[in-house]
Amino acid sequence: MTIDVLIADDQAMVRAGFAALLDAHDGIRVTGQAANGAEAVTLSARLDPDVILMDVRMPELDGIEATKRILGPGYPAAKVPRIIMLTTFDIDDYVYDALQAGASGFLLKDALPEDLVHAVRVVAAGDALLAPSVTRRMIAQFAAQKPRASHGTARLAELTEREREVLVLIGHGRSNSEIAATLFIAEQTVKTHVAKVGARDRVQAVIFAYDTGLVAPS
């Protein structure tokens, strides 16, 4: 299956470079390019991409607000894309907000070409972009600085004890295979428990664990 990609970045050279790189790989096709967040929102609705590479800082509409609109309820698209936030620095003030908006992860703009291709394939397959330990460390840093939200409390109350155990282990950076071995369950069961909390991927599950207080930042 071909992965359709939309690139949103205010630098034409960056867009062109990413497009040339991705189009050179089998199974990946760049279907559109946007110079700002507003264009990204419009093109996403029209092109229905599988993955969007979204720059955080853009004119007219930044990447975070564009992500909120694209992944928000009632958006006129046939499918919900996976969004990779593009950042200049590994610790960006906007990263936590971007992930809360529904992004599936983030990637440095100076990442190696093979890392970009790998990121697109991983996210398109429904997995989180970051390694579990990196995800945990990053979210913990931002969670420590942000007030906890209460919108997930009702969902947390609906979880079984086992589902909470899985969520805690995810929050501590354990991989699916490690969780399965620890709890003596199948890896597919782990994925099912993640889906139960309404998380589209591991990144969103970690955010849920911290936002509800199930896992405390260290």
DSSP-based three-state secondary structure for 84: strand
Summarize pLDDT for 183-218 with one digit per residue, the tens.
999 988 888 887 777 777 777 787 788 778 888 766
Q: How confident is the model at residue 137 (pLDDT cuts 50, 70, 90)?
A: low
Residue 139 lies in a domain: no
Q: Quick check: 48 pLDDT over 90?
A: yes
Residue 13 lies in a domain: yes
Residue 138 lies in a domain: no
Q: Are residues 58 and 17 in the same domain?
A: yes
Residue 41 lies in a domain: yes
Domain around 162: 150-211
pLDDT of residue 123: 87
Q: Are residues 89 and 22 in the same domain?
A: yes
- What's the DSSP call for residue 197? T
Q: Are residues 12 and 109 in the same domain?
A: yes
CATH number of the domain enclosing 205: 1.10.10.10
Q: What percent of the chain has pLDDT over 90?
A: 41
Q: Quick check: 21 pLDDT over 80?
A: yes
Q: How confident is the model at residue 147 (pLDDT cuts 50, 70, 90)?
A: low
Is the pTM here over 0.85, yes or no? Answer: no
Contact (Cβ atoms closer than 8 angstroms) between residue 26 and residue 52: no
Interior CA angle at 146 toward 196 and 160, to 5°? 20
The tally of domains found in the chain comes to: 2
Name the percent of the chain in helix, strand, coil, to the closest 5.
50, 15, 40
Range in 72-81, 117-126, 156-165 with the lowest mean pLDDT? 72-81
Mean pLDDT over 83-91 rounds to 77
CATH number of the domain enclosing 69: 3.40.50.2300
More confident residue, 36 or 105: 36
Q: Are residues 109 and 10 in the same domain?
A: yes
Q: Are residues 70 and 162 in the same domain?
A: no
Going by C-alpha positions, the residue among 88, 134, 126, 73 that lies closest to residue 104 is: 126
Mean pLDDT over 77-91 rounds to 78
Q: Are residues 15 and 104 in the same domain?
A: yes
DSSP-based three-state secondary structure for 102: coil
- Pairwise CA distance, residues 169 & 176, whole Å: 9
